[in-house]
Amino acid sequence: MASGFFALLDDIASLMDDVGAMSKIAGKKTAGILGDDLAVNAEKASGFLSSREIPVLWAISKGSLLNKLIILPLAFLLSAFVPLAITIALLLGGFYLAYEGAEKIYEFFVPHQFPKSEKVKTNLSKEEILSLEKGKIKSAVVTDFILSIEIVIIALGTVVKEPIWTQVFVVSIIALVATVGVYGIVAMIVRMDDLGLKLIKFNGEESSLSYTIGKFLVAALPVVIKSLSVIGTVALILVAGGIFVHNLEFLHDWLHALPAILGEFIAGLLIGGICLLGVLVIKKIWKAIKPDAE
């Protein structure tokens, strides 16, 4: 009886060793997509009132955790029984990300024109602010879902030949890091100005180190937020391009002579542009059919 118990402990220790080693490998494989995930979600989580930043981030984080709870069991089942479905899901997510990135670029060069009768409200009611927040949260959670699929699939690919429990532990660890780590850093970014103000008021002396650091943080936040918008857009296109290049052989063959990052950007931008063009054409047709449709 005792020998069986110690044998079980030995098996658990061996499993933990394997999990630790494979988690490091999976972490390296997913480092790039986690960086993109950070840039995209930081951009998505910015632009809220200071008092609403943490509640909004918490709502997005809960949505991200729910995404992982949905994706993980499905990924294990599909990988075991219908591996082709994983590729299809990745490609569909890639189309969405490419479209979103291309749309951001289009809106930068061709800003949305409001009808003359429509005025942009500056003094929004509490209900209107909450409604806008819900829309941005929903968009952030949808984008997180697609990025989470890619993270989980890449992590799963590194341990696909390992025993099932090693797969479960390793991919779950990576998924947890993708939520806690990414949104923890996002929270620090969006609260930079509050930390800066506290440091400025720490002792009130302009010559102090805390005042200098605080002033720097307050001044740097607008630059960081604007930069994240650009970085997030590029990240969307790169992630989408990576999905296409790694899963569509003809694209890989066509772009293999280019540096990987350039090839992925071209693929993401090209396919995103095609998706955007298709959506714009459909909108114009729909507007012609129903002029009063919003």
- How large is the average pLDDT for residues 92-111? 85
Higher per-residue pLDDT: 67 or 236: 67
CA distance 74 to 54: 30
Residues 62-85 have pLDDT tens digits of 888 898 889 888 888 887 788 777
Query: Are 239 and 100 spatial neighbours (Cβ–Cβ below 8 Å)?
Result: no
Is 8's pLDDT higher than 60?
no
Q: Is residue 96 part of a domain?
A: yes
For residue 149, the number of C-alpha atoms closer than 13 Å in the C-beta half-sphere is 23
Q: What pLDDT shows up at residue 160?
A: 65
Are 71 and 152 spatial neighbours (Cβ–Cβ below 8 Å)?
yes
Q: Is the pLDDT of residue 7 over 50?
A: no
Of the candidates 287, 229, 241, which has an alpha carbon nearest to the alpha carbon of residue 99?
A: 241
pLDDT in tens, 27-63: 454 545 555 566 666 666 666 666 677 788 888 888 8
pLDDT-derived band at 124, boundaries 50, 70, 90: low
Range of the domain at 204: 2-289
| H/E stretch holding 211 | helix 209-247
Alpha helices for 45-113 (secondary structure H): 53-81, 83-109
Please, which pLDDT band fits residue 14 given cuts at 50, 70 and 90? very low
In a domain, 228, yes or no: yes
Number of separate domains in the chain? 1
pLDDT of res. 157? 66
By mean pLDDT, which of 62-76, 145-159, 238-252, 267-281 is the weakest?
A: 145-159
Nearest to 229 by CA among 89, 48, 46: 46
Which residues have CB under 8 Å from 107's CB, separation 6+? none
Handedness of CA 245, 250, 256, 257 (dihedral sign): negative
Q: Is the pLDDT of residue 273 over 90?
A: yes
Q: For 157-214, what is each residue's pLDDT tens digit?
A: 667 667 777 777 888 888 887 788 777 877 777 777 778 888 888 776 777 788 888 8
Pairwise pLDDT comparison (189 vs 258), residue with the higher score: 258
Q: Is residue 18 part of a domain?
A: yes
Instruction: Please indicate, yes or no, if residue 224 is contained in any of the structural domains.
Output: yes
Whether 138 shows a pLDDT value over 60: the answer reads yes
In a domain, residue 223? The reply is: yes
Distance CA 240, CA 248 (A): 12
Whole-model pTM?
0.66
Residue 294 lies in a domain: no
pLDDT above 80 (res 12) = no
**Residue 122 carries which DSSP code?**
S
Report the pLDDT value the prediction gives residue 113, as an integer from 0 to 100. Answer: 56
CB 192 within 8 A of CB 213: no
pLDDT confidence of residue 3: 46
Q: Classify residue 136: in a domain, yes or no.
A: yes
SS3 98: helix
Q: Decide: 91 and 244 in contact? Cβ < 8 Å.
A: yes
Which residues does 124 contact at the CB level (< 8 Å), separation at least 6?
Answer: 132
Give, rounded to a whole angstrom, the gap between the first and last alpha carbons of the chain: 72
Under DSSP, the state recorded for 201 is T
Residue 277's pLDDT is what?
A: 95
